[in-house]
Each structure stands twice: as C-alpha cells, then as structure tokens.
C-alpha cells in the first residue's frame, strides 16, 4: 500500500456505519470532511472525543464540514457505545461511526501502526477538501485526546487560504491578520487586498483577514 500524502485523493470506500451504508465520496458530496479513527469502543478518551464532536456539530455545519468516525469494532458495539456517549457527555451523536471489523478502511488510510498496537487504530485525523484531496493528516497516540478546537482552526485556515492568496501565521485564529502569499507582487496588493497591508520584511507582509 502506498503511503498517503497531502494532496492525494482520499481513498474511496463503501462501509457500514451507525447511520447506514455509505459510499464515502458520494457521502461527502461537495462538503469538506473530517475522518477520524479511535482505538476501540467503550474506552474513556474516545468517549470524550466523540461527545465533543457531537457537541461541536453546529461548528462543523457552519463550516460546511461533515464528520465521520471509525473504529475496528462492529456495528452492534458502536450502537451500544453511542448510548453511553450520549448519557455521559450530555449530547446526541448525530454523525456516522464506521464499523471496520475487517480493518479494510483502517488499512486504506494506514491507521494501524504495529509498533504502537498491531490491532487497534491510532487516533488519526484526515481533513478532506470538496475535491476529495487530503489537506491535513494528524496522528495522536492512544493516550492523548485530540483538540477539536485546533481541528476547527485548521478548517478555517484551509477554507480561507483556498479562496485567497494568503497563508495563516503561527497561532492564527479566525479574524486575525494573515500573511500575503509571496507569489503576490507588491504592485498587485492594493487591488487584491484593499484593506491595506504592513510590510515587515519584503517576504513578510501582513493584511487583515480578507473575508471579514
């Protein structure tokens, strides 16, 4: 299996989920997508993660982003686990969880790292653009829960930089100033960025976020 890299087309697949059978690319449609894996059902950190994603559902919707989870447990196990998630995290899980008992999807996305665990998936995150290309890959160990505020922040950055000739600096948050791409010559800045800009260095030019 070839190693997935940024810019690759996210592998397509069909799978059973807690919300019925899906064809992944068709399910994504024209949306952005987040695919994230979990070591196992009925585990404490995973329970908090899925509860957090459910509680953030409006934030993902606001960004036109669909979320889908995966573990190598079966559908019946997922459905029982959701009851625990809803009760303990005070939420309603309204996104699909893939049942990947044969590890087919986990293998497609290289989610099983044998030196960490030869059976369970690591905490993988893939952000996928509407053109089905992978825009971000993150891998967390089983012991560390993910920061979904950071995942939302990255989606904001990806969506902004896909529309404008900008990049986002360190610790950027939605609404902060952004970096003008080095491909934009000084002579074109006033036309592209009418809010003005600050030249700190010839290669470092800041401007207010253009879509705010």
Report, as residue numbers or ranges, the catalytic residues: 46
Rounded to 5 degrees, φ, ψ at 184 are: -90, 115
189: its two tokens: 């800045």
C-beta of residue 121 within 8 angstroms of C-beta of residue 38? yes
Planar angle of CA 17, 21, 23, nearest 5 degrees:
110
| Residue in the structure block whose two tokens are 């990255």 | 154
How far is 14 from 35, CA to CA, in rounded Å? 14
Mode of pairing for the β-strands spanning 32-37 and 123-128? antiparallel
SS3 category, 128: strand
């Amino acid at each position: 299996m070839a190693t997935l890299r940024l810019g690759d087309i996210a592998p397509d697949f069909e799978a059973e989920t807690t919300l019925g059978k899906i064809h992944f690319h068709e399910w994504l449609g024209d949306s952005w997508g987040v695919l994230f894996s979990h070591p196992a059902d009925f585990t404490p950190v995973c329970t908090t993660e899925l509860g957090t994603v459910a509680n953030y559902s409006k934030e993902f919707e606001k960004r036109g982003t669909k979320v889908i989870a995966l573990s190598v447990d079966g559908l019946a196990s997922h459905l029982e686990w959701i009851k625990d998630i809803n009760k303990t995290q005070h939420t309603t899980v309204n996104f699909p969880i893939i049942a990947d008992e044969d590890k087919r999807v986990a293998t497609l996305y290289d989610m099983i790292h044998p030196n960490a665990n030869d059976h369970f998936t690591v905490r993988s995150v893939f952000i996928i653009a509407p053109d089905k290309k992978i825009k971000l890959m993150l891998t967390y160990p089983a012991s560390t829960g993910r920061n979904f505020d950071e995942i939302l922040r990255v989606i904001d950055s990806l969506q902004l930089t896909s529309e404008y000739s900008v990049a986002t600096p360190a610790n950027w948050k939605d609404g902060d100033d952004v970096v003008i791409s080095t491909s934009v010559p000084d002579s074109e800045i006033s036309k592209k960025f009418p809010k003005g800009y600050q030249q700190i260095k010839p290669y470092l030019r800041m401007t207010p976020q253009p879509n705010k």
